[in-house]
Chain A
Amino acid sequence: MAMTQEEILAGLAEIIDEIAGVPADEVTPDKTFVDDLDIDSLSMVEIAVAAQDKFGVEIPDDQLKDLKTVQDVIDYVGRSSVSA
């Protein structure tokens, strides 16, 4: 079953809190990872691997670099889990 956007956001916020220490309520769809949430590229790799485990979708490096905002990840996970 595909997850709702809210479920993906909640799961992603949990991962970001664990890895980057950003409180869950700050992780909103419009935020950019680098500028708004102050997450560096190494932490993004960790987040991508954790997201892969949590959501069961693969995020290849060439896709990862295009995921700039929280909404980008929600959309990507939503698309991938539907097609999976």
Chain B
Amino acid sequence: MGTESTSPEAIRSDLTERVVVTGLGAITPLGADAPTTWQAMLAGRSGVRTIEQDWAQRLPCQIAAPSAADPATIIDRVQARRLDRCEMFALIAAREAWTDAGSPDVDPLRLGVAVASGIGGIGSTLAAYDTLREKGWQRLSPFTVPMLMPNGAAGWISLELGARAGVHTTVSACASGAEAIGYGVDMIRSGRADVVVAGGTEAAILELNIGAFAAMRALSLRNDEPERASRPFDKGRDGFVLGEGAGIVVLESESHAAGRGARVYAVAGGTGYSGDAHHIAQPDPDGAGATLAMRRALANAGVAAGQVTHVNAHATSTPAGDVVEAQAIAAALGEAASGVVVSATKSMTGHLLGGAGAVESVAAILALRDQVAPPTINLDDPEDDLGVDIAVKPTELHPRGPEPMAVLNNSFGFGGHNVAVVFMAA
């Protein structure tokens, strides 16, 4: 079965079974659920707003993409007291995805959770620190630790669903959500689970985070034009816009899904990983790591470059990252890059950090289902030499041959984490 090879991308495992996506959930700056988010993306709406809180006045960046709905108004009042905002987002998206999947009847020992966050409960951490300093340790909520731990969201989802196959949190900054989906796929492939709830969440629109990203000079300072601030691949881009929310997918072995007659969105074909080993927070200018992750993802999925019709790019709207990624896509797909439609949905959602890869996987899966790539808004003056076509309006996708259509979702994180996920038409 397994072909011996020395090429770096030849790490395909001996697949015993395909993994499919049977449920989707999201809460984002564009909508409180996945369908609303997707329709807003197709309509080219921006979720970026002026930050209303007073603390923003002390910072150079005063814009962000807040969730379209306050999660504390959706979650039960008593439970909300015990959850960080990022945990609320994840729970809301997980409930949606689970219901969307038809609430699978699955052995709890065969149900897993892989839900990530880049930062975890930072809002709770900061609030608890204020309480500690002002009132003393006795006044800390006894739920402080489960609110601030990055695996809290995964833990709460496992409690709600009774998932006992394993509960996991992959932490790789802005690649966390995509890595969690890859981990979930591997759980099923390796026989550890039949169903896995996977994705990512983030809630970091806070003075510390905006201030710290501003200190890196990573944020757009286009305060006077919030909706125009996130502009991946555009010559006028000046940094990313921080967003918040969560995306969750229900992954399922193909036989389990077939056994219960589940509706299948897509095949979760495979995942490719690499490390840049270049700089803690800057992309490798030759994009070698990103290219390798994409090639490995295709190899892992058994997909040829010519099957790829659409890439949901990581493209955050930073000066350094976008062009490198476009060129890496061109390099990874080679001759097949011509005709691929690339979209940067962060132009609309902002950058959800640990939630980004999951929300963008949801978008990539819906692009595959509807055979349409969402637009990249604000792309008025594209960079030269991108080497790939960027969709500026909803763009129809067509199979490029007899093999099933495939889409890629890229996610890259500080630390040099590169993750690419492949989804194919079922």
Q: Judge if B142 is at the interface, Cβ distance under 8 Å.
A: yes
Cα A46 to Cα B143 in complex, Å, equals 9
Do residues A42 and B142 form an inter-chain contact, with CB atoms below 8 A? yes
Report whether A21 and B77 are in contact in the complex, using a CB–CB cutoff of 8 Å: yes
Q: How long is the Cα–Cα vector from A83 to B241 in the complex, in angstroms?
A: 59
With both beta carbons as reference points, the residue of chain B lying nearest to A46 in the complex is identified as B142
For A42, the closest partner residue in chain B by CB is: B142
Q: What's the least CB distance linking A35 to chain B, in Å?
A: 19
> 8 Å CB contacts to B: which residues of A1-45?
19-21, 42-43, 45
User: Is the Cβ of A21 less than 8 Å from the Cβ of B76?
Assistant: yes
Q: CA–CA, A3 to B143, complex, Å?
A: 31
Within 8 A of A (CB), among B121-143: 138-139, 141-143
Instruction: Check A19 against B81 for contact (C-beta < 8 Å).
Output: yes
Q: Which residues of A contact B138 (CB under 8 A)?
A: 49
A49 and B143 alpha carbons, distance in the complex (Å) = 13
In the bound complex, residues from chain B placing their C-beta under 8 Å from that of A21 are 76-78
**Which residues of chain B are within 8 angstroms of A49 by Cβ–Cβ distance?**
138-139
Residue in B closest to A20 when the chains form the complex, CB atoms: B78
Interchain CB contact under 8 A, B142 and A45: yes
- CB-CB under 8 A from B77, the residues of chain A are 21
Q: List the B side residues contacting A20 at CB < 8 Å.
A: 78
Query: In the complex, what residues of A have CB within 8 A of residue B78's CB?
Result: 19-21
Q: Note all chain A residues with C-beta closer than 8 A to B143.
A: 42, 46
Across chains A and B, the number of contacting residue pairs, with CB separation under 8 Å, is 15
A27 to chain B, nearest CB (A): 14
* Minimal Cβ-Cβ distance residue in A for B138: A49
Interface size, A (range):
under 10
Q: Which of B76, B138, B139, B142 has the most A CB atoms < 10 Å from its CB?
A: B142
Find chain A residues with CB under 8 A from B76 CB. 21
- Residue on A nearest B78 in the bound complex, by CB: A21
Of chain B, the residue at the smallest CB distance from A22 is B78
Q: Shortest distance in angstroms between A9's beta carbon and chain B's nearest beta carbon?
A: 20
Complex Cα distance A43/B81, Å? Answer: 11
From 39 to 63 in chain A, residues with beta carbon under 8 angstroms from any chain B beta carbon are 42-43, 45-46, 49
| A-contact 0/1 string along B59-76, CB 8 Å cutoff | 000000000000000001
Chain B residue at minimal CB-CB distance from A21: B78
CA distance A84 to B77 in the complex (A): 35
Complex CA gap A27/B66 in Å reads: 39
How close is A15's CB to chain B, nearest CB, in angstroms?
A: 12
In the complex, A49 Cα to B141 Cα: how many Å? Answer: 9
Which residue of B has the minimal Cβ distance to A44?
Answer: B142
Q: How far, in Å, is A13 (CB) from chain B's closest CB?
A: 14
Q: In whole angstroms, what is the CA distance A67 to B385 when docked?
A: 72
Q: Which of B214-260 contact A (CB under 8 A)?
A: none
Rounded to whole Å, the gap between the CB of A64 and the closest CB of chain B is 12
- Tell me, rounded to whole Å, the shortest Cβ–Cβ distance linking A42 to chain B: 4
Contacts of A43 in B (CB 8 A): 142
A21 to B76: give the CA distance in the assembly, Å: 9
Among residues of B, the one whose C-beta sits closest to the C-beta of A17 is B78
Bound-complex Cα distance A19 to B77 (A): 9
Most chain A beta-carbon contacts within 10 A, residue among B78, B138, B143: B78
Question: What sequence of 0s and 1s flags, for each residue 130-168 of chain B, a beta carbon within 8 Å of any chain A beta carbon?
Answer: 000000001101110000000000000000000000000
Complex Cα spacing A49 to B144, Å: 15
Question: How far does the Cβ of B134 sit from chain A's closest Cβ, in whole Å?
Answer: 15
Task: Give, as a whole number of angstroms, the nearest-CB distance from A39 to chain B.
Answer: 11
Q: Within the assembled complex, what's the spacing in Å between the Cα atoms of A42 and B76?
A: 18
Instruction: Tell me the bound Cα distance from A27 to B81 in angstroms.
Output: 20
Inter-chain contacts of B141 with A (CB < 8 A): 46
Complex Cα distance, B76 from A31, in Å, reads: 24
The smallest C-beta distance from B74 to any residue of chain A, in angstroms, reads 16
B-side contacts of A46, CB under 8 Å: 141-143
Cα distance A54–B78 when bound, in Å?
A: 19
Bound form: Cα–Cα A20–B139 in Å = 17
For the complex, what is the distance from the CA of A49 to the CA of B142, rounded to whole Å? 10
Q: CA of A73 to CA of B143 in the docked complex: distance in angstroms? A: 22
User: How far does the Cβ of A53 sit from chain B's closest Cβ, in whole Å?
Assistant: 10
Other than the known A19-B78, A46-B141, A49-B139, what 12 A-B pairs have Cβ atoms closer than 8 Å? A19-B81, A20-B78, A21-B76, A21-B77, A21-B78, A42-B142, A42-B143, A43-B142, A45-B142, A46-B142, A46-B143, A49-B138
Name 15 interchain pairs, CB-CB below 8 A, sorted by A. A19-B78, A19-B81, A20-B78, A21-B76, A21-B77, A21-B78, A42-B142, A42-B143, A43-B142, A45-B142, A46-B141, A46-B142, A46-B143, A49-B138, A49-B139
Which 9 A-B pairs have CB atoms at the shortest separation, nearest pair first? A21-B78, A42-B142, A45-B142, A46-B142, A42-B143, A20-B78, A46-B141, A49-B138, A21-B77
